[in-house]
Amino acid sequence: MTYKKSVSIYNEIGHLRSVLVHSPGKEIENIVPDYLRRLLFDEIAYLKQARKEHLQFVNLLKNEGVEVLYLTELMEEILQENEIRNDFLEDFMEEGRVGTEGIKEAMREFFSTMSPLDMVRKCIAGVRTEELSHIKAKSLGDMVRNPYPFYLDPIPNLYFQRDPFASIGEGITLNVMHSETRNRETLFAKYLFDHHPRFQNVPRWYNRDKSHPIEGGDQLVLSEKVAAIGISERTNPIAIEKVARNLFYSDEPFEIVLAFDIPKTRAYMHLDTVFTMVDYDKFTIYPGIEAPLDVYSIVKGKNKSLHISYEADKLSSILKKYLNLPAVDLIRCGDGDPIAAGREQWSDGSNTLAVSPGKVICYDRNYVTNEALRQHGVEVLEFESYELSRGRGGPRCMSMPLIREKI
């Protein structure tokens, strides 16, 4: 089946038709303890096993009839054109803080013999200092000794394709990341939407030239009318207002943005680490954020303004009201047991990816939550999760849906 639009996302649970992923590569092996936290990892993953797990994830998706697109392959197609390839490298070096002309020149030479695919992979993996020989010192910066082992940092979080951009309706938000280590991820998305023939004329509800951060893990499309966005460690309320305004004053049907004010901590860095939708009326939630949870509704105001209200009800009532449901089922991470909930949330027990209504992909390690989901009538497809989980993201984080069936 072919679709007229390259992006069409009006819900979280309709049959997933097309999804973008990145399988972790050599960038994972460029993580060392000194830079672990800055690279937003808590542990060093074993690449071979991580790739095996990622393949299991992709195979589950394919078995459900989902078209799986790899970011590296789409980038390979774009970089066939020399002009785009050169522009990309210049932008990539600039944003990767390759500061001196001597290193830039050596870097250009280093990449010049690579195929487009190797170049993309190397950009993601990072460039170690010993890989560039013959740097002609042109400035003080080229001459001074620097013990830092990389000229270009690795981008180990790229396998969390959920975050650098987000599909909403027939458009995207091209995001501004909270931390510098993830900002070059959005450059891949920019080139994809600027240059890939499949993704032409996709409207942008937010752009990476803005100053306030917003990340895709905070962005949920609950229905054709309702989007939910987390106010989190990673997403600023000013960015949420801009997205709401651009959505409301477009041809899209969205009428309400619910802003969930979640705790600003590492464990709950995005809304989707504590709350995901699994069926028409079922959600999985980490009980630690349930109360008190401040929710604000944003709707159109007069003269292109926004009208913002505090929602005084509890979460289940807010969801019932805005999704027009007689009842909702909130399924607790760890089945409500605080120790199991804390342990399983840390490894993304609430971070499910729905492939169709009531059918979700989950990490196998979160067996208490997965059993609770089953008890509530949800079908759970599991895959191994020893290593991928070390990056603090789950199946939803590792996927960017491009097309879902409307429900």
Ligand X SMILES: NC(=O)NCCC[C@H](N)C(=O)O
Task: Select from 22, 24, 15 the least CA-distant residue to 76.
Answer: 22
The count of other CB atoms within 10 Å of the CB of residue 49 is 13
Q: Does 96 bind ligand X (CB under 6 A)?
A: no
C-alpha atoms less than 13 angstroms from C-alpha of 253 in its C-beta half-sphere:
12
Per the listing, tokens 């909930």 go with 341
Q: How far apart are CA 134 and CA 259, in angstroms?
A: 52
Q: Does 270 bind ligand X (CB under 6 A)?
A: yes
Site string for ligand X, 309-348 (x = CB under 6 A): ----------------------------------------
Binders of ligand X among 119-178, rule CB under 6 A? 157, 160, 162-163
Q: If DSSP codes are grouped into helix, strand and coil, which group holds residue 337?
A: coil
Q: Is the dihedral of CA 187, 247, 265, 271 positive or negative?
A: negative
Q: How far is the CB of 266 from ligand X (least distance, A)?
A: 7
Stretch that binds ligand X, among 53-61, 77-85, 118-126, 264-272 (CB under 6 A): 264-272
Q: How far is the CB of 234 from ligand X (least distance, A)?
A: 7
- Indicate if 333 belongs to the active site: no
Q: How far apart are CA 211 and CA 301, in angstroms?
A: 24
Stretch that binds ligand X, among 15-23, 117-125, 242-250, 269-277 (CB under 6 A): 269-277
From candidates 153, 185, 272, 279, binder to ligand X by CB under 6 A: 272
Task: Select from 127, 6, 11 the least CA-distant residue to 69.
Answer: 6
Binders of ligand X among 177-236, rule CB under 6 A? 182, 217
State the residue number with the nearest CB to ligand X.
Answer: 217
Q: How far apart are CA 126 and CA 212, in angstroms?
A: 26
Stretch that binds ligand X, among 7-15, 119-127, 247-255, 267-275 (CB under 6 A): 267-275
Q: How far is the CB of 367 from ligand X (least distance, A)?
A: 21
Q: How far is the CB of 4 from ligand X (least distance, A)?
A: 28
Residue 100 or 399 with smaller CB distance to ligand X: 399
Measure Cα distances from 344 to 276, 336, 375 in Å: 14, 11, 17
Question: Dihedral of the CA atoms 212, 18, 52, 369 (nearest 10)?
Answer: 70
The answer to whether the beta carbons of residues 401 and 9 sit under 8 Å apart is: yes
The answer to whether the beta carbons of residues 404 and 357 sit under 8 Å apart is: no
Q: Does 40 bind ligand X (CB under 6 A)?
A: yes
State the chain's maximal CA–CA distance in angstroms.
Answer: 70
How many residues form the binding site for ligand X (CB under 6 A)?
A: 15
Q: How far is the CB of 393 from ligand X (least distance, A)?
A: 3
Binders of ligand X among 365-394, rule CB under 6 A? 391-393
Binding footprint of ligand X on the chain (CB under 6 A): 40, 157, 160, 162-163, 182, 217, 269-270, 272-273, 391-393, 397
Q: What residues are labeled active site? A: 397
